[in-house]
Amino acid sequence: MGQLARRLRARLDAARTVRLAGRRGRQYEITFSWKGAEVRERITFVLRGRREYQLLCRWPADEAEPVACGLLLQSFRLA
């Protein structure tokens, strides 16, 4: 995540362990400039064996988190 943040010239705002689909995962929130606007991005990673799942939600930094971001995490199921 550190490499991605450096490439995007992003600020790491949060890093935490979360429960997702009954498993532990890691979640990161970063803020960066994209196409001339500040955006906030939440990336959540969860592992199952050798597979890595990545859930991404991005929204304008000056707006509240969209309801859809929370629904994405609640509705995710491992395939």
Number of domains observed in the structure of the chain = 1
pLDDT in the model for residue 7: 80
6/64 Cα distance (integer angstroms)? 25
pLDDT means over runs of 10, the chain (79 residues): 80 93 94 93 94 95 95 90
Closest to 43 measured CA to CA, from 32, 52, 61, 56: 56
pLDDT in the model for residue 4: 80
Residues 6+ away with beta carbon under 8 Å from 40:
13, 29, 30, 31, 58, 59, 60, 61, 65
pTM of the model: 0.87
Domain range for 23: 2-75
